[in-house]
Chain A
């Protein structure tokens, strides 16, 4: 209702207001875009890997003595027997990798034998035996698990790929986008021309690379065991048993064979932290930047308002003498700040949209959700009004006697 004269008075003293409006605009621009990135990273960090992370741990066995191939197979069998027979263990498997490990094996799949084409689909490969399904706690949505007789040891004289595979639903959809009934029984070609028969489909299992953006949900279980010097064991414990089992199994394995060392005994929680350490840092830094910027803007508003209050001490006294109540004086500064904020926020919203379009193009980010900018505007508006109340309150305490006292 008093906007007219307040606005006209502001026009007589533009500089400070324009600077603060610009500061608000820039803050909004950075705030909402940083928030967009934070939101995306948070989404990424919180996606599930598909395995029973809470109860699972991993460890590696590294031979430092020359073992024959057959000796290595025996050792792996002994190790797995030992682990699986430890009370509290649900199941265990030896595999080349596991989700979130950030290192693993990928292969290209094609619908026709022969060289890979543009239509080929990349997938992560997990070599497992028939215990893989239960160890990883995968949900079978179609088909069945590997039969024990389908699991073979890798043969150095025969490079043919195992003929069976279990794949994730995501991967299946990618390979056969038009299939509506079942993927089980279908054949896909790997390593140029080795046919692979799909025996089962699982709902979810991430590839080992969480940053493998579009393809992180594509995984394939291959029923093959590999007798290397370096073997990773994945152990799934009963709920509550993990922390107790970790040292127990580490010690038991170490004691059972002195020709190797046991290392990298890690919970999946720990592995997850390592996998997302960059994203978590990014969230923290951006969050800090956003807070800092908001704080600086608030301080800027406090500063400008304080300055205006001192500059107008006399005029405030006069207004009081002419009948302004204390709330009316506070309202004056709130309205003034609303005008500055409105200008800054509208400019900022335009800048924010512009920056977001540029960032989406440059960094393949998701566009901002529709509500981010309005919420950002609301937050900054409220912060600004809060910032004003301090100095405005001081203004309202100026005595009307100022009008007659200071000449």
Chain B
């Protein structure tokens, strides 16, 4: 379970202060498939980064599985990311010098699994995303959809409880986007909590719960509603 209460995130540069999140409160239950929509610059990525422990919050509280995140040091935060959270990024973010197999291997090595265990998980996850035959390929030799599947395999290999996706289909055409969404739905069906940022309403519809972020504030409910009010305002 993920619980955020009154979370603020302020980015300070020499000249400006950006209030990216203003008092965001949210509870995500085990097994949910949550979509996050909102206008550009509204704070979606900021929210996801804080949820995924990639950034620290400015004020408020954040508990992940009953654990107060703000009390963790860098090593513990790394460990939580490694064990509990899988990331899927818009630009895939595979490591270009590593082949498919080694890419999926990266988080498993940080986890400290032995060779056999890593091998078993990598093969299994690549099979699950339909890329078992491409282990020796390098990212540059794969299509965008294939790269995103490798990224999903990498996110799944550690069997995380949470899967965080920031515009996972943003760089893909509709067909590929659909198949990636199918995959996410299937993963969610097997128990993994998914939080997905997207700006495409059709994709957001496939989530079981939708939240809408505007100016760093959260609004629950179907996205169409909010887009409609935003447009008429």
Tell me the A residues contacting B by CB distance below 8 Å.
Answer: 1-2, 5, 8-9, 12-13, 314-315, 318-328, 399-401, 403-405, 407
Contacts and interface: CB of A to CB of B under 8 A. Distances in A.
11 contacts: A5-B109, A9-B97, A315-B97, A320-B78, A321-B93, A323-B158, A328-B110, A399-B54, A400-B53, A403-B87, A403-B93
Contact of A323 (B79, B93, B96, B99): B79
Interface string B46-86: 00110011110000000000000000001100110111000
The 3 closest A-B pairs by CB, nearest first: A323-B82, A9-B97, A322-B107
A252 B95 CA distance: 88
Contacts, number: 88
A323 B78 contact: yes
B5 interface: no
B166 interface: yes
A399 B55 contact: yes
B55 A401 contact: yes
A326 B90 CA distance: 25
A320 B138 CA distance: 21
Contacts of A9: 95, 97-98, 102
Contacts of B98: 5, 8-9
A120 to B, nearest CB: 72
B110 A322 contact: yes
Contacts of A400: 53-55, 81
A394 to B, nearest CB: 15
A323 B91 contact: no
B103 to A, nearest CB: 9
Contacts of B154: 322
B111 interface: yes
B142 interface: no
Interface in B116-159: 138, 154, 158
B25 interface: no
B106 interface: yes
B89 A404 contact: yes
B110 A404 contact: no
Contacts of B110: 319, 322-325, 328
Contact of B54 (A324, A328, A403): A403
Given A328-B110, A404-B54, A404-B166, A322 B45 contact: no
Given A400-B54, A400-B55, A403-B54, 11 more contacts: A8-B98, A321-B52, A324-B110, A327-B75, A399-B54, A400-B53, A401-B49, A404-B87, A404-B166, A405-B45, A407-B91
Given A8-B102, A319-B106, A323-B107, A404 B45 contact: yes
Nearest to B80: A323
B105 interface: yes
Q: A2, A320, A321, A325 — which one has the most chain B CB atoms within 10 A of its CB?
A: A321
A404 B45 CA distance: 7
B54 A323 contact: no
Nearest to B87: A321
B102 A322 contact: no
B106 A322 contact: yes
B222 to A, nearest CB: 25
B107 to A, nearest CB: 4
Given A403-B54, A405-B45, A322 B87 contact: yes
B102 A5 contact: yes
B102 A324 contact: no
A320 to B, nearest CB: 7
Contact of B74 (A1, A322, A326, A403): A326
Contact of B105 (A1, A5, A401): A5
Contacts of B95: 9, 315, 318-319
B116 to A, nearest CB: 15
Contacts of A13: 97
Nearest to A5: B102
Given A401-B55, A404-B48, A404-B166, A323 B97 contact: no
Contact of A318 (B45, B93, B102): B93
Nearest to B106: A322
A331 to B, nearest CB: 11
B75 A325 contact: yes
Contacts of B45: 404-405
Contacts of A322: 81-82, 87, 106-107, 110, 154
Contacts of A321: 52, 54, 81, 87, 93
